[in-house]
Structure 1
Amino acid sequence: MTIINYIKRNKKKSIIILILTIAYYFCLPKHLFKDPTATIITSSNNELLGAQIAKDGQWRFPKNDSIPKKFKTCIIQFEDEYFYKHPGFNPISIFKALRDNIKSKSVKRGGSTLTQQVIRLSRKGKSRTYFEKLKEIVLATRLELRESKDKILAYYSSHAPFGGNVVGLDAASWRYFKRNANDLSWGETATLAVLPNAPSLIYPGKNQKYLLKKRNRLLKKLLENTIIDTLTYQLSIAENLPQKPYPLPRIAPHLLQKIAKTHHGEHIQTTINIKLQERANHIVQNHYNQLSQNKIYNIAVLVLDVKTRQVLTYIGNSPTDKAHQKDVDIIDKPRSTGSILKPFLYTAMLDSGDLLPKTLVTDVPTQFGSYNPENYNKTYDGAVPASRALSRSLNVPAVRMLQQYGLDRFHHYLKNLKLKDLKYNANHYGLSLILGGAESNLWDLSKSYAALSSTLNHYSETSSEYFSNEFCEPIFLASEKVDFGKKINDKTLFNAASIYLTYESLKEVNRPESNENWEFFDNSKQISWKTGTSFGFRDAWAIGSTKNYVVGVWVGNADGEGRPGLVGVQAAAPILFNIFDLLPSSTWFPIPYDNMQKVDICKQSGHRASQNCNEVEEKLIQVSGLKTKPCPYHILIHLDKNETFQVNSSCEDLDNITHKSWFILPPLMAHYYKTKNPFYKPLPKFREDCLGERTVSIDFIYPKENNTIFLPKDFDKKTNPLILKIAHSKPESTVFWYIDETFVANTKNIHELAIIPQHGKHTITVIDEFGNENQQKITISK
């Protein structure tokens, strides 16, 4: 009641007091500092990876509320011994400052507390007058009421000037000592503590004696106050002063560039393993030095943790120069895929039950309209196990498998992998999709391999279950965590067995020379990996996975220039294995038994064994593979007692006929297969006295249907002939050749014919002595 009575009796005074109280309450801005700050990224254990300077050109790190104990002690001892006792200003210090300044008739001493200095720093450009000093005192007391003492110290350490364009303790620590502020010695900390008092002292070669004197005086005070001992004091004063600012770390510059787009001016802790990143940088540097001699200038590397999907290493480019786009982050840039998509097709075909791992697939010269795929070494096996076709990265089997599986169907699977650079429909890419006709990037491809590995891990760790969000984005911010979704019984994209069998095949990919004999001495280095080389030798890929890690490597030129030797296994694979050597060893993926079944497999064909297969082995296959057809290449034939000729009941008694299973391929496949498989036996001939059962097939080896052919001329301007070739299931037969219904010649045993046809369209017809016929249409161009 006394207060109310006082207000009633003194209304004017009360109003004035109220206004002053409100003014005092709101006199301090909500945000003291609005200066732009540098973008800072740190590793998973909070070590500095790099920084991007603030927009105003200052090295000003984001505010840090954590102040090193040494710096806190030094700055209080040097600037404001009674910091924890005064209300924002120190009357005794102000009195002494006034006395000294009046005596000297100039400003010799300020008498400001640390709180007042924080206010002055926040009110940039204000003249140092007694009236401004009074304002600082008022604002300082208000700040003391609003913030804790430690918070005020944090403001000071984050915004104090340390010379040049260096602002704040964290930036100063890195610029002058190349270390985190928490790791500084007493001598180094004392140097930084005296700098804001006269920040111009730090310039190289300027006033070093004066700076040394101030630092040592502070160290002497620490000794006298028993904060440090004599030995520490002696060691500290012996330390040299910094002579120049150091550049800040550039351990992951392209990740910094990426993060700065969305978190500019922030301090971001990443998932990067700094030790791994630094050692990977060193590996890339070494390989860049070698590759640049062949004018190959750019390298990108990504390392993912399969279980957490965290980015452990991010190298967006090699340490090249501006002329070769050193600042371009290639990890997320679209590049031709080469053969790197082949494992996804193989997995999809296993998953759908269209294939078994060892099933023989066709490898012969092939043409689809105007598209004529070739193997890298331009040779053909005739027939090759699917798993070996993948591990050897054979192009022709891959294209034929894609045609068999379905272009639209495979394109749909790739879209489900969320490859963002796959922007067009399936027909736009055509069958070249599997050989590099599409573009993707290292980020999307690496995350896809990581998703396959994670699917296998989760399947074995749960009760044979999958996760609904397995194919998710990797993360590089420590504050994030991947959500794999909920457990489900059905596969998200591919079943576990198909992935496992694909990885078993990729484990057998031929390694670079230095790693060729790995399986004989290091079982812990089992890696499922694949290379890719784009058309024109413009992109070299290598992506590999263990149970715990995925490493992705791209090598090439950012401007797309192709170079000889820019091949996946030569340029990218050595980097991949050097990186894997840095990673902890992993056990191999567990076998997903619940998604597999033991089945008798024909040893020669890789198909499910039919009753005619004479060599059978029991193998684990994916459950979906049970619907594949039995072996079509083993047939039961009837031979005479000496097993020299085929016979039948028309020429031999039934008691004298031997029944035998025989492995036989179609003639074109057999033509190439027997060159690589010397023990392949063609079917025995029928004995001449036998009737019927003379099944014959003819295939063109060259040319292919609707080929357009140019006949070159030699040095004497003579036109070179066109060599026609066919494969006949009974090569001893006589074959008659016709060009446009005109008989040309006949052949026996070796069915090749040289002709020089006129320009234009022609029909080539071959007819054997039994009346079997085949035709091929070609065009001879000028």
Structure 2
Amino acid sequence: MTIGLKKRHKYIKILKGINYIKRHKKKTIVVVVLLIFYAFCLPTKMFTKPTSTVITSKNNELLGALIAKDGQWRFPHNDSVPQKFKTCLIQFEDEHFYKHPGFNPVSIFKAFKQNIQAGSVKRGGSTITQQVIRLSRDNRSRTYFEKIKELIFATRLEFRFSKEKIISFWSSNAPFGGNVVGLDAAAWRYFNRNASQLSWAESATLAVLPNAPNLIYPGKNQQKLLVKRNRLLQKLLAKKVIDSLTYELSVLEELPQKPYPLPQIATHLLQKINKEKKGEFVKTTIDKNLQNQANTIVKNHYNQINKNGIYNISVLVLDVKTRQVLSYVGNSPTDIKHQKDVDVVDKPRSTGSILKPFLYAAMLDAGDLLPNMLVADVPTNFGSYQPENFDKKYAGAVSAKLALSKSLNVPTVRMLQDFGLEKFHDYLQKLKLKDLKENPNYYGLTLALGGAESNLWDLCKSYASMASTVNHYTQNSSRYFKNEFCEPTFYGNKKIDFGQKTSEKIIFDAASIYLTFESLKDVNRPNADQNWEFFDSSKQIAWKTGTSFGFRDAWAIGTTKDFVVGVWVGNADGEGRPGLVGVQTAAPILFDVFDKLPKAAWFEKPFDEMTEIETCNKSGYRATENCEEKSLEFVQNAGLKTKACPFHILVNVGISENYQVNTSCERLENIKQKSWFVLPPLMEYYYKDKNPFYKSLPKFRNDCLGGNKNAMKFIYPTEKSTIFLPKGFDGKKNEIILKVAHSNSEATLFWYVNDTYLGTTKEINEFSVSLEIGDYIISVTDNFGDEVRQQIIVKE
């Protein structure tokens, strides 16, 4: 019964409500419209003015900012308001902030009474909430009608946002004098520090400024500002917010005299981020201390090299484990004339030799090379292309490891020729070097020596990915990550996802990378007697330099287990300069930066990707039975595919071992079979000058039959090639010097040009000849009847 009565009463109320609406339609519509207006009276976004792009370090330290589009230093909205400033602001502007619903009736009445008595607006009576509304409405004229609207909007603001959010609105948008808007910008402009680090006196100063922001101008109205600040401090003391000692020390603090320039610690990174996140507050991965140190290092070296007309430097430091950017120096502190604003980190530049480690790693990975395997270092022609070593000297034969650590050009080009241009280009494409845009034939064999372009970002990224590959392989039970070769990041809120684990290599296997780093660890460092900074050699670093053709670009990139440092030095406009060499200009900067980084342990050996084999000590190839001196060596698993040593052969010699013999000239019991290390004639010609213990294969004794097998090869020219006739100082054409290497030093050589006899040589087999423009066949015959021929084209 009771339940039925309740339902009936409820039904009656609803009917009465409906009847009232029907009788008062206009009133109802007005109320509904007002409620709708009230609900939607505030814009979705309270503040729409442009803001500065601001970047901070990984520890939230300010690195730099760009002024907003409207010329104001207005930092992006910050929800975090320091407690000291919040306390000062509430005590000065709105003591009852946490109690009122957006307006304070008592303050409004007092303001109204005082303004009526004065006959003009002397007091506003606005709460912080009302001030936020006025700031969002561009400080419209203070009329009573405008005040009524502010009051209505203020109550709606209180419904929509928390008190803390309203305080943050005020702090981010209040004017602080001049073109400074918001607490964060004001703290840096007037006190050169973060708002959270302000003292009570500094917080009080900024709390009273928006009340009369013209007071802050340097040297103007300082006394008025001081009185306002100290009055607020006195109030804080009276309310026991601060103690007497804090008060006494605070009133002694000086007022700011002029605005400080905002920090510009990573200017080029700021510009880069501004393109993607204009007007935003961005936390980066930059280590502020390291960034400052890198800036100082770059400045010091710039002050030296600019005397030689070299004006631009860029430095990039990556954390291998996180793939985060720790330091980003886009350019040196030069001037506009020398393009100080150009960010060189991501600009394409000629690579020089900086790609050589990738070729070395690719050949190891493919099973075409072992680290100590001998490779030819002899004069080489590929048509009209004639690569030369930096010192224009030749060693005959060097280990692949030494060729890399000494950055020898000729062995590198010969290795690339043997490996295959397309195969190497494919490896580079997998590294995602974005400036490598052409097909392999466009670059040709110069691809490994600077014929291509790349940038510091991509190169450092690749070195970091390789280092991380070895680290992850040894840390994750001999497994790889699918997204190992990924882009680094300078955004603090981004974490690199290395992807799923896999047993398959991604580009290079861990062992090939490890062995490459072992070779790069042996690169000679710039030493103190060259006036470069001394570097503690106990720090193990795999590093490589590069110098582009014409001395236009100098590179140095190095990696440890934890860090990658990359350096580029040159001129942004591409002008070459003498002395612009990687080891002389870029390497010292590299090691100065590494000196500021923590010492890192060396890479762990990836044993599961390695195999222990016997190698020949002299040749570095897989050992055969003919190799007398052998060693056990851990090599990459793919190294098992390399061919066995071709340089050790078995020869029959007499008891004295001075001659080769056979049964036609010596009794069988007097013949010894001996393993002999024999290089091809051209390699031997240069090798024996560098290796005094090298013993040439002995010739056959004169009384032996069938033993006069000699080897002969051109030293110059080595291939069918085009020769350009040089001219001397007198304007006359110089002669061409032809050279041949012969395995028998006592052989007599007979020289011919187009079957025309020129003359003979013995021991020193060089012949000077004057030739006109045209095609020629050079032929050389020894006194045993062996012949070599070479075609050349002579041009001016």
Which TM class, normalised by the smaller chain length?
Answer: over 0.9
What is the TM-score with the length of structure 1 in the denominator? Answer: 0.98
- 1:562-615 superposed Cα distances (whole Å, 9 cap, x missing partner): 111111111111111111111111111111111111111111111111111111
* Aligned-partner SS, 1:23: helix
**Which residue, 662, 669, 676 being the options, matches 1:662?**
676
Q: Is the 8 A contact 1:41 1:48 kept in 2?
A: yes
**Which residue, 443, 455, 461 being the options, matches 1:429?**
443
Deviation at 1:14, TM superposition (A): 2.9
Report whether the alignment pairs 1:629 with 2:643.
yes
Query: For the residues of structure 1 that align with 2:775 and 2:393, how far apart are their CA atoms?
Result: 28
Query: For the residues of structure 1 that align with 2:179 and 2:353, how far apart are their CA atoms?
Result: 50
Report whether the alignment pairs 1:8 with 2:50.
no
Deviation at 1:687, TM superposition (A): 0.8
Query: For the residues of structure 1 that align with 2:728 and 2:157, how far apart are their CA atoms?
Result: 94
Residue in 1 that maps onto 2:624: 610
Residue in 2 that maps onto 1:51: 65
Query: For the residues of structure 1 that align with 2:546 and 2:656, how far apart are their CA atoms?
Result: 51
Deviation at 1:343, TM superposition (A): 0.5
Residue in 2 that maps onto 1:185: 199
**Which residue, 82, 99, 105 being the options, matches 1:85?**
99
**Which residue, 579, 601, 607 being the options, matches 1:587?**
601
* Aligned-partner SS, 1:525: coil
Query: For the residues of structure 2 that align with 1:356 and 1:307, how far apart are their CA atoms?
Result: 29
Residue in 1 that maps onto 2:132: 118
Report whether the alignment pairs 1:645 with 2:659.
yes
Query: For the residues of structure 2 that align with 1:333 and 1:521, how far apart are their CA atoms?
Result: 29
Report whether the alignment pairs 1:196 with 2:210.
yes
Query: For the residues of structure 2 that align with 1:576 and 1:716, how far apart are their CA atoms?
Result: 46
Report whether the alignment pairs 1:222 with 2:236.
yes
**Which residue, 252, 263, 277 being the options, matches 2:266?**
252
Report whether the alignment pairs 1:278 with 2:292.
yes
CA RMSD of aligned residues (A): 1.7
- 1:669-713 superposed Cα distances (whole Å, 9 cap, x missing partner): 001111111111111121110011322221111123333334445
Deviation at 1:715, TM superposition (A): 4.9
- 1:722-760 superposed Cα distances (whole Å, 9 cap, x missing partner): 221100111211111111111111111111112212332
Q: Is the 8 A contact 2:535 2:591 kept in 1?
A: no
* Cα pair distance change 1:759/1:21, threshold 3 Å: closer
**Which residue, 115, 123, 129 being the options, matches 2:143?**
129
Query: For the residues of structure 1 that align with 2:37 and 2:520, how far apart are their CA atoms?
Result: 74
* Aligned-partner SS, 1:158: helix
Residue in 2 that maps onto 1:534: 548
* Aligned-partner SS, 1:261: helix
Query: For the residues of structure 2 that align with 1:613 and 1:221, how far apart are their CA atoms?
Result: 94
* Cα pair distance change 1:710/1:6, threshold 3 Å: closer
Query: For the residues of structure 2 that align with 1:525 and 1:92, how far apart are their CA atoms?
Result: 72
* Cα pair distance change 1:6/1:779, threshold 3 Å: closer
Q: Is the 8 A contact 1:538 1:566 kept in 2?
A: yes
**Which residue, 772, 775, 780 being the options, matches 2:789?**
775
* Cα pair distance change 1:72/1:665, threshold 3 Å: same
Deviation at 1:3, TM superposition (A): 6.9
Report whether the alignment pairs 1:153 with 2:153.
no
Of 193-202 and 25-34, more deviation after overlay is shown by 25-34
Query: For the residues of structure 2 that align with 1:52 and 1:713, how far apart are their CA atoms?
Result: 59
* Aligned-partner SS, 1:679: coil
Matches within 5 A, 1:346-745: 346-514=360-528, 524-715=538-729, 718-745=732-759
Of 159-168 and 694-703, more deviation after overlay is shown by 694-703
- 1:462-491 superposed Cα distances (whole Å, 9 cap, x missing partner): 121111111111111111111111111111
Matches within 5 A, 1:32-71: 32-71=46-85
Query: For the residues of structure 2 that align with 1:202 and 1:192, how far apart are their CA atoms?
Result: 9
Report whether the alignment pairs 1:108 with 2:122.
yes
Query: For the residues of structure 2 that align with 1:200 and 1:715, how far apart are their CA atoms?
Result: 77
Q: Is the 8 A contact 2:380 2:719 kept in 1?
A: no
Residue in 2 that maps onto 1:332: 346
Q: Is the 8 A contact 2:54 2:64 kept in 1?
A: yes
- 1:402-423 superposed Cα distances (whole Å, 9 cap, x missing partner): 0000000100110000000000
Query: For the residues of structure 2 that align with 1:243 and 1:459, how far apart are their CA atoms?
Result: 58
Query: For the residues of structure 2 that align with 1:391 and 1:315, how far apart are their CA atoms?
Result: 27
* Cα pair distance change 1:214/1:364, threshold 3 Å: same
The one-letter amino acid of 1:170's match is D
- 1:178-221 superposed Cα distances (whole Å, 9 cap, x missing partner): 10000000011111000000111111111111111111111111
Q: Is the 8 A contact 2:353 2:450 kept in 1?
A: yes
Deviation at 1:522, TM superposition (A): 5.6
Of 147-156 and 122-131, more deviation after overlay is shown by 122-131
* Cα pair distance change 1:643/1:553, threshold 3 Å: same
Query: For the residues of structure 2 that align with 1:644 and 1:546, how far apart are their CA atoms?
Result: 51
Of 717-726 and 240-249, more deviation after overlay is shown by 717-726
The one-letter amino acid of 2:505's match is K
Deviation at 1:15, TM superposition (A): 2.9
* Cα pair distance change 1:3/1:293, threshold 3 Å: farther
**Which residue, 729, 732, 749 being the options, matches 2:763?**
749
Q: Is the 8 A contact 2:780 2:788 kept in 1?
A: yes
* Cα pair distance change 1:4/1:93, threshold 3 Å: farther
* Aligned-partner SS, 1:448: helix
Q: Is the 8 A contact 2:103 2:127 kept in 1?
A: yes
The one-letter amino acid of 2:253's match is E
Q: Is the 8 A contact 1:7 1:14 kept in 2?
A: no
The one-letter amino acid of 1:569's match is V
Residue in 1 that maps onto 2:6: none
Query: For the residues of structure 2 that align with 1:38 and 1:638, how far apart are their CA atoms?
Result: 85
Matches within 5 A, 1:272-311: 272-311=286-325
Q: Is the 8 A contact 2:535 2:595 kept in 1?
A: no
Structure 1: tracts of 5 or more residues without a match:
none
Q: Is the 8 A contact 1:524 1:586 kept in 2?
A: no
What is the TM-score with the length of structure 2 in the denominator? Answer: 0.96
The one-letter amino acid of 1:19's match is V
* Cα pair distance change 1:733/1:112, threshold 3 Å: same
Residue in 1 that maps onto 2:3: none
Query: For the residues of structure 2 that align with 1:194 and 1:524, how far apart are their CA atoms?
Result: 58
- 1:527-572 superposed Cα distances (whole Å, 9 cap, x missing partner): 0110000001111111111111111111111111111111111111
Deviation at 1:781, TM superposition (A): 2.5
* Cα pair distance change 1:744/1:521, threshold 3 Å: closer
* Cα pair distance change 1:717/1:227, threshold 3 Å: closer
Residue in 2 that maps onto 1:138: 152
Query: For the residues of structure 2 that align with 1:465 and 1:511, how far apart are their CA atoms?
Result: 34
Query: For the residues of structure 1 that align with 2:204 and 2:139, how far apart are their CA atoms?
Result: 27
* Aligned-partner SS, 2:569: strand
Query: For the residues of structure 2 that align with 1:336 and 1:141, how far apart are their CA atoms?
Result: 64
Report whether the alignment pairs 1:96 with 2:107.
no
* Cα pair distance change 1:113/1:515, threshold 3 Å: farther
* Cα pair distance change 1:42/1:713, threshold 3 Å: closer
* Aligned-partner SS, 2:242: coil
Percent of counterpart pairs with the same letter?
66
Of 22-31 and 352-361, more deviation after overlay is shown by 22-31
